[in-house]
Amino acid sequence: MAVELQPRSAFAIAQRRFDAAADVLGLPDDTRRLLREVKRELTVHFPVRHDDGSVHLYTGFRVQHNINRGPAKGGIRYSPDVTLDLIKALAMSMTWKCAVVGIPYGGAKGGVVVDPRRLSRSELEHVTRRYATEIALLIGPEKDIPAPDLGTTPEVMAWIMDTISMHAGHSVTASVTGKPVEVGGSEGRQEAAGRGVTYLTVEALKYLNLGEETPTVAIQGFGKVGLPAARLLHRAGLRVVAVGDSKGAVYNPDGLDLEALEEHRKVRGEVSGFKKAEDIAGQELFGLPVTVLVPAAVEGQITEHNAPRIRARLITEAANAAIDPQADAILNERGVFVVPDILANAGGVIVSYFEWVQDLQAFFWEEEEINTKLHHVITRAFYEVLHTSVNRQVDMRTAAYVLAVQRVANATTVRGIYP
Ligand code: GLU
């Protein structure tokens, strides 16, 4: 097996995707140089006392890529794989995500280098409150609004909101989204990303008009995005035939009993070993004869190695950067229709936007209203991207970037250069 000498930079990939859109747009050099960098990057090192009295030093980041269209917005990731390079890439991708769906935010991302599963609840709370304090100079409803991402939960958001509020001396609920509903969270926020994935998959299938009565779907990931997506895709009339997690995958061509699978996973901690399906290796999931493939786990899953084996006609890229650029080229050549990440998983940040608006006006909406508004915003974005793709004769990812970069570039130009 070939050894990769140069570890691949997630930010370099993000910049490459931006460059492709900037080329299509013929973006002026000044704007291009500005938008391919991040605006602010804060690195913090801070101590936390663990339950046994020992003191541990943690490293965290908060990066703002661009704030020309509104306050910075983006999740906070807790993972041992967090690096400044990755957070910069994800912050940039948030800028395009917010722009492509037309919500008034810039892009940000944060993270702490930590495996949250190795911490007790109280250690997790201490890491969170200290990290929130360290980045507090950037955070606020008009400045930068964090949300959950990999490894963080509504409870973690409640601690961040409470910490910011303690410093302010009053409750600042709009400083964070993805909170529990009891403290200013929004109905429908938890399933929002999976719901967006479902709306887009249904819309893309309509457009592709494959003539299949019951399209089949394989989903990689059974967590915050994958699980609600599985449930909602099933409810939308698709047959979920395969589900994978970090340990393996299960396959039943007749369709999976999702409730039973959820129960099984709760008990066993993995999907493998489920009686009503066949165990397959995680990688096999990508080569299954399905209509739709939904990578909803982590980045870098679809590569030049497995892309040639993909038989799905549609990929809804639920996880950020699940498909790498080499795989993109292969999929395009093979005529696989891709709904790219910045559009595919935007349901999360769209409902975050609704949550922020509800907090600011202190008036809360019912779930039905949230879902209707989400459907409206994400479906409109899908057709705008599709039209751009057809008119400019570029693939869906480039079209999404073109649309987003154009909007951010316009805002940047119209605001001018200070001073
Ligand atoms: N972490 C999610 C994302 O990558 C949600 C961000 C948010 O709601 O601000 O889109």
Given 134, 152, 183, the domain boundary residue is 183
Burial of residue 56, with CB atoms counted within 10 A of its CB: 0-12 exposed, 13-18 middle, 19 or more buried: middle
Any bridge partners for residue 42, and if so which?
Answer: 62
Distance 53 CA to ligand 1 centre (A): 34
- Does the beta carbon of 299 sit less than 6 angstroms from any atom of ligand 1? no
Distance 288 CA to ligand 1 centre (A): 29
Residues 173 and 219 in one domain: no
* Ligand 1 atom nearest residue 150's Cα: 1
Backbone angles phi, psi at 367, to 5 degrees: -60, -40
- Does the beta carbon of 147 sit less than 6 angstroms from any atom of ligand 1? yes
| Omega within 30 of 0 (cis) for the link into 419 | yes
Tens of pLDDT, residues 73-121? 999 999 999 999 999 999 999 999 999 999 999 999 999 999 999 999 9
Residues 6+ apart with CB under 8 A from 222: 230, 243, 244, 245, 261, 262, 265, 271
Domain of residue 339: give its range.
187-419
Question: Per-residue pLDDT averaged across 251-255, rounded?
Answer: 98
* Ligand 1 atom nearest residue 346's Cα: 10
Number of Cα atoms under 13 Å in the Cβ half of residue 36: 18
**pLDDT of 3 higher than 90:** no
Residues 122 and 200 in one domain: no
In which band, very low, low, confident or very high, does the pLDDT at 8 lie, cut at 50, 70 and 90? confident
Distance 108 CA to ligand 1 centre (A): 9
Angle at 297 between CA 296 and CA 300, to 5 degrees: 105
* DSSP string over 126-187: HHHHHHHHHHTTT-BTTTEEEEE-TT--HHHHHHHHHHHHHHHTS--GGG-SS--GGGT--T
Amino acid at 284: E
| Residue 220 host element (H or E) | strand 216-220
Tens of pLDDT, residues 271-323? 999 999 999 999 999 999 999 999 999 999 999 999 999 999 999 999 999 99
Question: Per-residue pLDDT averaged across 22-27, rounded?
Answer: 98
- Does the beta carbon of 261 sit less than 6 angstroms from any atom of ligand 1? no
Instruction: Return the SS3 of 347.
Output: helix
Give the residue, by CA position, lying nearest to ligand 1 atom 8.
349
Given 149, 165, 183, the domain boundary residue is 183
- Does the beta carbon of 73 sit less than 6 angstroms from any atom of ligand 1? yes
Task: Tell me which residues are annotated as active site.
Answer: 109
407 in a domain, yes or no? yes
The pLDDT > 90 percentage for the chain reads: 98
Instruction: Specify the pLDDT at position 2.
Output: 47
Domain count, the chain: 2
Given 152, 183, 214, the domain boundary residue is 183
337-339 and 239-244 as β-strands: parallel, antiparallel, unpaired? unpaired
- Does the beta carbon of 196 sit less than 6 angstroms from any atom of ligand 1? no
- Does the beta carbon of 173 sit less than 6 angstroms from any atom of ligand 1? no
In which band, very low, low, confident or very high, does the pLDDT at 365 lie, cut at 50, 70 and 90? very high
**pLDDT of 4 higher than 60:** no
CA-based radius of gyration for the chain: 21
319 in a domain, yes or no? yes
Q: What is the mean pLDDT of the chain?
A: 97
